[in-house]
Each structure stands twice: as C-alpha cells, then as structure tokens.
Structure 1
Amino acid sequence: MILFLLPDHDYDPTESAVPWAALRDAGIPVRFATPEGRVALADDRLVERGFSVLSPLLMTRSDALRDYDRMREDPDFQSPLAYSDVVDAEVSGVLVPGGHAPGMKSMLESTTAQNIFGRALLSGKPVAAVCHGVLLAARAQDPATGRSVLYDRRTTAVTATLELSAWNLTRLRLGTYYRTYPQTVQAEVTAALRDPRQFERGPLIPRRDTATRRNRGFTVRDRNYLSARWPGDCHRLAAEYRDLVLADPAPH
C-alpha cells in the first residue's frame, strides 16, 4: 500500500487529493495515517471559509475540491492508522502533502512520522513530498549518519518567494497564517542539505498546472524521491509519483 501521512488537520486539499486520485484511478491501494488514528480534514479556509477578495487567488480550485470530496468518502480515509500502528513491511511508498496552518505541526514535528518517511526513503521505496511536507523529509534523520535523509538529495519545497508573498498578501487580516515557522521552509530545508545548490527553486514566476497542462508544474526527482513546491505543481507531481510507483517492482 501507499501511505499518505496527514496531520490532525489543516493540510492542503490539493496536495493530498490530486495525488490520491491519480493513484486510486490507477488501481493502487492507498492508506492514511494520522497522529492518533482519527480522521483528518483539510484546512477549512482553503476548502470553505476562503480569503475574502483574495479567495479566487488562494482557495482550492474546483477540480481539486472534487478529488478531495471523493477522497473523504473513501473507506480507507475514514479509517486511518495511527502513526504508531504503521508497519514498515506493509508500506510500499509514502507521500507527504503540505499545508501551512498551525495543525500541520502535529505531523511535521512528529518523530514517528519523520521516521516512517525516512525508513521508506532509505529502503528505496517511492516517496514524495510537497510544499511544507518537505520539512518532514528534511527533519527525518538517517540513523547511520545522524544527518537528514535529504543530505545527499536534490529537492525542492515551497520557496521563500512563494511563502513570503502569500504571507504579505494576507498578514494584515490573518497574521501569521502563512508563516508556520519563523524560518522559511526553503531556509530550513536548504540547511539540511550537503550543498545549498541541491535546493532547486524552479521558475521564478510559478504557473499553476492542470490535468491537461502538467508541464506547467515543477518537480524534482532524485532516485526514489520526488518533490514539488505548491498546489500548482500537483497534477505533475501526481502523474510522476503514480508512474514512479508503477515502475517499482515491489508489490503495492
């Protein structure tokens, strides 16, 4: 099975549901794990509450919301595992979506979740992370070296430009909503790498991809590890991760 790691709540619906739909439609089993094994819903501001006049720019797109509605109805989504109940031998790959609201910390700061991801990556299983989810990957340690499992990997994540732009657009009304941590994701992830040049920012002006225009998205693949920056990369991420999983000889 492919395991999606989710926080208690507040993850990005696009970054979870679009890859889930690609795997599910390819017949690949997907399970979910949350901190305590309770059903976890996405960031409600991205799904329903919105951002006033900025909603057309910042809210989840309608096609991704349809995938999210499908995902929520899936029996496996309704019965997630607890992180502590995950059995490595039953996991054939791991995907970590992002999100920036406070609930994300229940996943990003969990050493159990970090270790699940790290063991999967180090054992060669197909793994993926997007946006703030790359923080979990960067925080996962290789027990043989004490360094991040990304130390010798190329990666991307939500860039400082993307993160700070969203914060500056919303901070007067929403304060630190777009600042999960004082340090940017790009800064923390880059600090975990052997060489700062391993962090790839992609095009300076990002373009949202779609199911029919996946080439607009930006991803970075390094061996069995795939990463992306933001929801606008997720159709490409979903297709490439599906293909990575299908190419893996291990049973799913």
Structure 2
Amino acid sequence: MFAKTVLIALPERDFDPTEVAISWQVLRAAGYRVCFATPGGRAAAGDPLMLAGEGLDPWGWLPGLRRFKLLGLLLRARRDARQAYARMLDDNGFRQPLSYAQLRLDDFDGLLLPGGHWARGMRAYLEDPSLQAFVGAFLASAKPVAAICHGVLLAARSPGADGRSALYGRKTTGLTWAMERSAWNLTRFYGRFWDPNYYRTYREAAGEPAGYMSVQAEVGRALASPADFLDVPKGAPDYLRKTSGLHRDSQRDSRPAWVVRDGNYLSARWPGDVHAFAQGFVEMLAQ
C-alpha cells in the first residue's frame, strides 16, 4: 500500500533521463507511488544523446565513428542514472501515463517537474497551457512541488491566481546561465558543430543580449526580483565543486549539489543536483 502518490510531468520525448529516473528511483524506494503524465498520454522517451552519449563529439554525425565518445562520456547520464532509467522503462506507471488533460489536483500528493534541453521535445512540455494551469494550481496549494533545470522554467511560466507567475514572491534556483552557456559553448565549438544550439532550448532574437532567453534570465523576469533567483554564493562550502560543472552529487556525496527550498517549493539546477533534490523532496512529502 503506497503512502502517497507523486506525479512526474514529462514531454513525450527528450527529457533528461537522470533527473527523471533518479527521482523516480528515490521516490519509489521511499514507498511513494509515482505516476507520469505526457501531452497525449503516450509513453515518453528520454533524450537519446544523454543516454548513449553518441552524437555529441565532432565526429558524431559519422555512422562508423559515433560510438567513439569523448565529450559524450563527459556529458551523458552517469551509469547509476542509465541503470535507473532502464528499470523505469518497465514501470507500469511510466508505460501508461496520463495525459495533461486528465490531471486533477486532488489525485496527487506531490508534483515533480524535471528538465531537458533539446528543443524538439521540450518545447511542447514547457509551452502547454493546460499543464501550466495545473502547475500553477499545485503551487498555490499546500502540496509539495519540486522543479529542476528547465522544470523551473515551466513553473515560472505557470500562472498564479493573480495572473502573475506562480513563482512570483518565491525564492528559486534553476539552470544558471553560466552552466547553460558552458555546455552550449562546449558542444558548438568542440563537438556537435552541425547542430550547435542543441543545448539551447530557446535562442535570443536579433537585438536581445546574450543569455536573454536562458533559463535563469526568463525565470528571473518572472520573479518579484531577479535577486530571488539564487545561485551558489561565493564563499559557500565546496563552492568550486558545486559550480564547476565537473562534479555531480551521488547517494553518498551531496557536496556538489545546490538545492533551494521555499515553503512547499523545492528547486535545483541540473542533473548534478538530483540525488539531493530527490531526497529533499521525499523529506517534504513526509512532513
């Protein structure tokens, strides 16, 4: 018998496998029932580049060489996440998701919003009005909500009762422009040159400054103050470990993680925070 039911909202493709599968694994291990939802109620698929790491290196467009990975090994999901993803594929809740139109606030005790960046799949998730309305209602309730990476952008786009962002007046973190720019530069200059904007879900229009359409900038514009977007403060313990992008947290080591809680809302930046993020969400659900 499950104590509570948690919903993980997904696009139909290209979500980040680490943020979803590790969160699912931690929630299930804690005894929670996990349901999923996609735009049309069809089973979702994670970002294949983040799973295999193939196609991120400069030779990744060549069929005979794409299996040889350098950048792909650095950027793809870690082994524990790939293993959790493989197990999640056999989960009935994952294989039989609800549609966004079926979602009802009273059916769930918690909501988790993961991220991803490949525009071909993520935009349908980030821009869906029915999902945004559901997220806004959930944030207005006392029920726990957790958002990571581009999931924070979905939360910021979701309307509150007053028409402003449901995150207005809250503190949050999310994918920082420094992290987004670093991954973008790494792949467009040293890797996936034929698809240089793979790491940018939204690009700036002519006349807009660099980073204007980044997650951090858009979320910051939705908040009561851009200062309510919280990055790791300089001087914080393990500052370089948290901000270099070279370290990810694990079940045993939370030092690289940066997670922000504000009331019933929990946020994190990227897959490198996911173990602390998921465990923090479990603790919120137990309160």
Counterpart pick for 1:192 among 205, 216, 222 = 222
Q: TM-score, normalised by structure 2?
A: 0.84
Partners of 1:216 and 1:171 lie apart in 2 by 26
* Native 8 Å contact 2:126 2:154 kept in 1: yes
Preserved CA contact (<8 Å) 1:215 1:236:
no
Confirm whether residue 100 of structure 1 aligns to residue 140 of structure 2: no
Match of 2:43 in 1: 39
- The equivalences for 1:37-186 within 5 A come to 37-50=41-54, 51-52=56-57, 53-102=70-119, 103-143=121-161, 145-172=162-189, 173=193, 174-182=195-203, 183-186=213-216
SS at 1:227 equivalent: strand
Match of residue 209 from structure 2: none
Asked if structure 1 preserves the Cα contact closer than 8 Å seen for 2:53 and 2:73, the reply is: no
- Give the counterpart letter for 2:244 in structure 1: I
Kept after mapping to 1: 8 A contact 2:52/2:72: no
Tell me, in whole angstroms, the C-alpha distance in 1 between the residues paired with 2:278 and 2:111.
13
Instruction: Compute the displacement of 1:168 (Å).
Output: 0.5
Q: Which residue of 1 aligns with 2:60?
A: none
SS in 1 for 2:15: coil
Once the two structures are overlaid, the 10-residue window that deviates more, 149-158 or 52-61, is: 52-61
Q: Could you list the runs of 4 or more consecutive aligned residues of structure 1 that deviate by over 3 angstroms after TM superposition? A: none
RMSD of aligned Cα (Å):
1.1
Q: Deviations over 1:127-154 (max 9, x none)?
A: 00000111100000112x1110101100
Report the Cα offset of residue 156 of structure 1: 0.4
- 1:231 equivalenced with 2:271 (yes/no): yes
Point out where structure 1 has 5 or more consecutive residues left out of the alignment. 248-252
Shift of 1:49: 4.5
AA aligned to 1:224 is N
SS class of match (2:255): helix
Report the count of equivalent residues.
246
Q: Is the 8 A contact 2:17 2:82 kept in 1?
A: yes
For 1:221, the aligned partner's letter is R
Tell me the distance in 2 between the aligned counterparts of 1:78 and 1:196: 39
Kindly indicate whether residue 244 of structure 2 is the aligned counterpart of residue 205 of structure 1.
yes
Q: Which amino acid aligns with 1:127?
A: V
Deviation track 1:19-44 (CA, whole Å, cap 9, x = no partner) reads 11111011100100000000001000
For the pair shown, the structure with the greater C-alpha radius of gyration is 2
Shift of 1:205: 2.9
Find the aligned partners of 1:72 and 1:246 in 2 and give their Cα distance: 26
Supply the distance in 1 between the matched residues of 2:134 and 2:264 (Cα, whole angstroms).
15
Confirm or deny: 8 A CA contact 2:53 2:75 kept in the other structure: no
TM normalised by structure 1 equals: 0.95
SS at match of 1:214: coil
Aligned counterpart in structure 1 of residue 22 of structure 2, from 12, 15, 18: 18
Deviations, residues 209-235 of structure 1 (Å, cap 9, x unaligned): 111002321100000000000000001
Q: For 1:190 and 1:81, how far apart are their aligned partners in 2?
A: 31
Listed as ranges, the gaps of 5+ residues in structure 2 are 58-69, 204-212, 233-238
